[in-house]
Amino acid sequence: MGYLKGKSALMMFDKHANLKYKFGNRHFWAEGYYVSTVGLNEATIKKYIQD
């Protein structure tokens, strides 16, 4: 997953140069993870990703 996040962040910075100024340290993704044992559904995951 780290490889995908790293490559997608570099692509975003290359395509949208203005983001380099907003995220000067080139850290585009937040650290974290999602864990669930019950009640997992697509709507819950989408909400987690959007927030």
What's this model's pTM, rounded to 2 decimal places? 0.38
**What's the pLDDT score for residue 33?**
66
Q: Which residue has the tokens 């999602």?
A: 34
**Burial class of 40 by CB neighbour count within 10 A (0 to 12, 13 to 18, 19+):** exposed
- Catalytic center residues: 48
Q: What is the pLDDT of residues 1-43, one digit of tens each?
A: 667 777 777 787 778 777 666 666 656 666 676 666 666 677 8
Q: Which residue has the higher pLDDT, 13 or 47?
A: 47
Taking the C-alpha atoms of residue 45 and residue 16, their distance in angstroms, rounded to an integer, is 26
Contact 19, 28 (CB under 8 A): yes
**29, 22 Cβ separation under 8 angstroms:** no
